[in-house]
Structure 1
Amino acid sequence: MRDSVVLTLAAAPLVAATWALRLACESEEARESEEGVCHGYLAHPTLTLHTLIFLTYVLGFWAHSLVAGSTWLLDAARPLLPISIQLYYLSHPRAVHSERMVIGAALIIMWALRLFRAHGRRYEWALSSKEDWRRADLREAFGKWWPAASLPVAFIAEQGAACARCLPLRSLAGFAGAGVPFLPSFEDESDDVAALNVDAPLGLADTGALAVALVGLALAFKADEELLTYIRSADKKKPPVYTEGLWRLSRHPNRLGEHLWWLALAGAACCANGGFCPTALGPLIVCFGDASVDIPLLDRHVAMRRERIKAWMAYAERVPALWPTPGSVLRFFKPAASEAKKGE
C-alpha cells in the first residue's frame, strides 16, 4: 500500500504541471504573447515538456532516492512517464486530434499496463523491495560519490531514454519536426510547431504498424508470463536456465517484443508525417543502444552465476540474443519431444 501511494504521488507533479500550463495558456492573450512561459509552451512544446520532466520527474525521483537509499522508484514508475507524455500532447492547445493519435494513446496505455503488471508480479507487488542490479552495482562502484553521480548516471539518463522513445508521440499529435534543439523545425525560427496533414486517411502502412505493435505487446506479455512461471516453480529439478517456449526463439523475447512495439510507434510517426520524420530516430537510437549495450551486459550478469555458466554457454551458442535467426525459428516450431530425442 505504501509503495502504491509513493508511486501515485511521484506521478502527480508532472500531471499537475501539464494541466496548470494548459489552463494558464488557454486565453487569447496568452496565445498571442511572444515571450514568457506560455510562449515557450505553445511555440516549443517538446522542449517545454523536457524541462517539466526534469523539474518534476528527474529531480523529484532523485530526491526520493536520497531519502529512501534506493532507486526502486525509477523501475516502478517507468510505465508512467510515456503515459504522462501522451497526456501532455493530448492536452496541448495546438495538438491536432486524429485517429492516429487516439490509437497511439490506446497502445501506450496497453503497453504501460503490461509493463507495470509484469514488474509488479515479478516482485510480488513489493515494489520497493529490490533495487535494479545495474544501479546497485553502480552504487557500489561510485561509493560515497553515488548520491551526486546518480543524478546524471541514473535519472537524467532515464529521462533521455524515455523522451527519445516517446518522440513519435509528437508526430502523432500533429507536430512536424523533432522538437529538440539539435533537430528543430525550420518552418519558423521562433516557432517549433509545424502542423502535419493529419486528415490523411489511415492506410496500409498504418495497419502494418498497428499489427507489429500488437505482435510486440503479445510477444512481451507471453515471454514475461513464461519466465515468471519458471521463476516461481518449486520444482527442485528445474534447469538453471529457462530455455522453453519463446525463450527458444530468442534469449530475450520480452525485449524483442519491446523493440517491435517502439519501432512500430516510430513507423506510425512516419505514416503521420507522410514519409520519414526525425521523431522516428528516437526509438531507433534507443533500441540500438539497448541491443548493443544493455542486453550484452545482462547476458554477462546471468553468465557470471556459477550454477548457470555451463547451461548458459550452451544456450547462448544455439539461441540468438535478440532477433531470431532461421535456426532458432526452426527450433521454436519443432516439437519439444523431437528435440529432446535428438539430444539423447
Structure 2
Amino acid sequence: MSRGASFARVVVAYLVAFGGATLWLVAGPDTRWLWLDGLIADLIATLVVFAASRLHHNSSCYDPYWSVLPPFLAGYWALAADPGGDGTRTALVLVVIAVWAVRLTANWAISFPGLHHEDWRYPLLRERAGRHELAVDLMAIHVIPTLQVFLGLLPVYVAVTRPGRPVGWLDVLAFVVGIGAVLLELVADGQMRRFARDRRPGEVMDRGLWGWSRHPNYFGEISFWCALALFGIAASPADWWWCLPGAAAMVALFLGASIPMMEQRSLERRPGYADVVARVPRLVPRPPRWQRPQRPAVRG
C-alpha cells in the first residue's frame, strides 16, 4: 500500500473516531460532569481507532491520537463550560495546546512511511503477550495511553472551567514553559531528521541538542505536560490534586518505559551508543561530560 493510500485510511479512521466522539458529546445522555462527558467521548474515539488498528494489522494507526485528542477535548471543555474560566487564561492554554499539537502531528505526518511500517514496540508487546495479544493491544497500546493523556489534560479542564481567578505570573510562566517546550522539540526534530538523512552506517546522534541530552524530545514533552499542570494550579490552587498526577504520570512513562526501551534498543543496534551514554545526560539538557583521551600504554 502506498504512503498516500495509507495516510488517507488513517485520516478516514480519525474522522469516524472523532465524529463518533462528537456525536456522543452533542446527542448523548448528559452525565452532569463535563470531564466525564469528555472521558467517554475519548474512549469512544479510542475504540474506533483500535478497530482500525486491527483492520489494518498495524497498531501504529494509534500514533497520531496522542496529539489530535488534546485540542479536541480542550476545545470542547472551553466551549461547554458555563460560566467557564478566565478568558485570557483559556486563550493562553488553547494556544499552547494548538502549537504543540500542530508540531507533533506534523512530525508524525512527515515521518509516516505508510501502513506497511509499524512501531517496533507494538509487535514486541503483542508477541510477549502470546494468546492474550488482543487484550494487550487494546489495553496497553490503546486504552492505557488514552487514559494517561486524559489524566494529563485534567489541569486544562480546571483552567478553562474554574471561574473567578485572574491571570497572574504563574500563567505567564506556564505559557513560557509550554511554548519553550514546543520550540525545543521542534529544533530536536529538525536536527534528528537531518542526521537520519545524512548519517553513516553505525553512526550515533550526539550533535546539537542531542549532545546535551540523549532524549531532548522527551524532555520537551514532559515540560509541555508540566506547563499544563501549572495552568491548572494558576486557575485554582485548591485543585492541585487534579493537576499534578498527570504530569507525574508522564514523567513516570518516559523515565520508566519509553527511555529504557529506546536506550536498550540503541545499545543493541549501535555499539557507539555506549560512548554517548557515558558522556551525554539522559534527559535534562546540560553540557556533555568531557572525557580525557586515553594515552596508549608505554611498553618498557
Q: Which ranges of structure 1 fall in alignment gaps of 5 or more residues?
A: 22-36, 176-195, 332-338
Change (3 A) 1:246 1:343: farther
Counterpart position of 1:99: 88
2:219·2:283 contact (CA, 8 Å) conserved in 1? yes
Counterpart position of 2:273: 312
Letter in 2 for 1:5: V
Partners of 1:209 and 1:93 lie apart in 2 by 22
1:164·1:286 contact (CA, 8 Å) conserved in 2? no
1:7·1:73 contact (CA, 8 Å) conserved in 2? no
Counterpart position of 1:191: none
- RMSD over equivalenced CA pairs, Å: 2.4
Spell out structure 1 runs of 4+ moving beyond 4 A. Answer: 341-344
Counterpart position of 2:253: 289
Q: Deviations over 1:65-109 (max 9, x none)?
A: 221111122102321111121122022142514211111111111
Post-superposition offset of 1:276 = 6.1
Task: Give the length in aligned residue pairs.
Answer: 286
2:59·2:137 contact (CA, 8 Å) conserved in 1? no
Partners of 2:116 and 2:191 lie apart in 1 by 22
Change (3 A) 1:261 1:60: same
2:188·2:217 contact (CA, 8 Å) conserved in 1? yes
Equivalent position to 2:156, from 169, 175, 190: 169
Letter in 2 for 1:59: L
Partners of 1:291 and 1:101 lie apart in 2 by 30
Q: Deviations over 1:176-208 (max 9, x none)?
A: xxxxxxxxxxxxxxxxxxxx424x2x2222211
Partners of 1:149 and 1:103 lie apart in 2 by 37
Q: Trace 1:61-210 onto structure 2 (pairs within 5 A).
A: 61-94=49-82, 96-97=84-85, 98-124=87-113, 126=114, 128-175=115-162, 196-198=163-165, 200=166, 202-210=167-175
Partners of 1:95 and 1:139 lie apart in 2 by 46
Letter in 2 for 1:85: L
Counterpart position of 1:181: none
Counterpart position of 1:222: 187
Identity %: 22
Matched, 1:17 2:20: no
Q: Which ranges of structure 2 fall in alignment gaps of 5 or more residues?
A: 296-300
Partners of 2:284 and 2:294 lie apart in 1 by 24
